[in-house]
A and B are shown apart, each in its own frame.
Chain A
Amino acid sequence: MIEFRDVTKKYPDGTVAVDELNLTVEAGTITVFVGPSGCGKTTSLRMVNRMIDPSAGEVLIDGEDVRKSDPALLRRGIGYVIQQAGLFPHRTVLDNVATVPLLSGWTKAKARTRAAELLETVGLPAEMGKRFPAQLSGGQQQRVGVARALAADPPILLMDEPFSAVDPVVREGLQDELLRLQGELDKTIVFVTHDIDEAVRLGEKVAVFRQGGVLAQYDAPAEILARPADDFVSDFVGRDRGYRGLSFVDNEGLPIGQVDTVLVGGAHSPSQQWTLVLVDGDKPRGWLAPGSTVDGEWTTADALAGGSLYTRGTPLRGALDAALSSPAGLGVVVDDAGAYAGVVTAEEVLKVIESRRETAE
């Protein structure tokens, strides 16, 4: 558990970066600090591992004021990941990951064995350990940065915009990976971002900061989207917050229908209905429009591209998006293995939302 008690940070030039922050980060959760640039997120984060000391107030880890600890020793017990990854260019990937264990006096062999395990944990092949940081993509460097932070198995992980510099597709992969890792490792993670989508996606609790280092709202993400504390938060979470809020609405009561399906290349007689094209036996891959004919050797190229897929049992946002993005107006539902499981319509999703509203009232 990390507690900020009346923490203020005023820089020598008079800038108040953090203003009387009071906040408790629960152990074993991901807590996200989010807000526009310059609102004191980084400063707040860095007061936890004493990269910065507060001007007033105190930061406690498990009830102990961090200022009682030697900074170097304190930091070896806290994982630290930054935006530029900050990998040591002169060391191999493996030795980068082994840094903290080596600082803590492990033998070289033991530290390297541990480092190799961690590469696997963050989804990198063991051979990559021999490479140098300059030979890695941005996304791979960030994975190494995470592995390096985890090397000494610290209970706390501080992450400052770790995924902001990679492209959106890679970023999403890294976010999924972090959630998966957290499922296994159960760390206390403080994650800084300026991206509200990322905050809502990763955070069990989200702290929204505003200019001047003031905490505007500290709540579960669904709560922040549904009930912003003030105009600033409401502006910051943006216009799509109603739609984003569906990320937190479960799918209970959502009816799943069925459509005709055809295996790619298989015999198809023109039908008055939309027909879903499957590949590899049961994987959805596009649509045949009503009345369309395909003969002879046909491939997925002859079908219309499909929309996004909705994994059964996940929140309604994915269901609505699948329906809206499908050329047939039918969102394709898949099971965890990606196999066709049925279809949903936007209308049915909206009905579920409406009925929830009624029961809530």
Chain B
Amino acid sequence: MIFSNMIDWLTNGANWQGPEGIPTRVGEHVYYAVLAVLVASAVAVPLGLFVGHTGRGAVFVVAISNALRALPTLGLVTLFVLLLGLGDWPVLIGLIILAVPPILSGTYAGVQDVDRGVIDAARGMGMTGWQRLWKVEVPNALPLLIGGVRSAVLQVVATVAVAAFVGLGGLGRILLSGQKTYKFEVMLGAAVLIALLAVVLDQIIAAIQRLVVPKGLTVAAKAAAPTRGGK
């Protein structure tokens, strides 16, 4: 019953129009999520590369990632709204801070995980620090780096939904209005859309990952898989 109501709601053309319509809300949701992840990446990727490459500040990276991860999502966002007042930016800052740890630790771990023999060979063949970073460490770090971005995206998409509580646009608004008016089919529809959005964004990044991760690494991962499974 609630499902068929939900289908009715989803297929009702009226819900797909106007400033409160589904497309607008989806657009807002994507905009906030992507913006937060991009800004977080701009900070976390260079920092992760630096720490992984030089080995300096590794303790700091681990500590800060764990500390940030432990923060309650909604609490953080609310805190910034209380500190900075209502508006998009306080909420976005909270979202960015949430997105940093997975990207930072993914990038750092990606560089850190490059086989020591490979790094040693790169140095021994006369690569400069920058050449080693761009020609060896970054390409080899890509799977874990992108993995970090993927979990950041999932986390941020979920948090944007919750941030409707503090006034941010996005599909959370629909969820909230459904709750206020006791229209559970609307809440369910919004939840389904949020989940769908998360899956679609994740698949887009997965496709990008397949494009940019060097083929040799995919081959190596496949070759390593049977032994890993055997343990």
Contacts and interface: CB of A to CB of B under 8 A. Distances in A.
B121 interface: yes
Contact of A82 (B120, B127, B140): B120
A51 interface: yes
Given A91-B214, A103-B125, A86 B118 contact: yes
Interface string A106-144: 000000000000000000000000001111000000000
Interface residues of B, number: 27
B125 A80 contact: yes
B220 A133 contact: yes
A84 B118 CA distance: 8
Contacts of B71: none
B125 A89 contact: no
Given A86-B115, A89-B140, A103 B220 contact: no
A308 interface: no
A343 interface: no
Interface in A291-344: none
Contacts, number: 86
A88 interface: yes
Interface in B184-231: 214-217, 219-220, 222-224
B75 interface: no
Interface stretch (A70-78, A226-234, A246-254, A276-284): A70-78
Nearest to B119: A86
A215 interface: no
Nearest to B136: A88
B123 A133 contact: no
Contact of B220 (A82, A92, A100, A134): A134
A73 B223 CA distance: 35
A87 B125 contact: no
A148 interface: yes
Contacts of B214: 90-91
B126 A103 contact: yes
B128 interface: yes
A43 interface: no
Contacts of B216: 88-92, 132-134
B193 to A, nearest CB: 38
B117 interface: yes
Given A90-B139, A91-B216, A132-B215, A82 B126 contact: no
B131 A103 contact: yes
A145 B118 CA distance: 11
A135 B219 contact: yes
B93 interface: no
B140 A74 contact: no
Given A86-B120, A89-B118, A90-B140, A135 B223 contact: yes
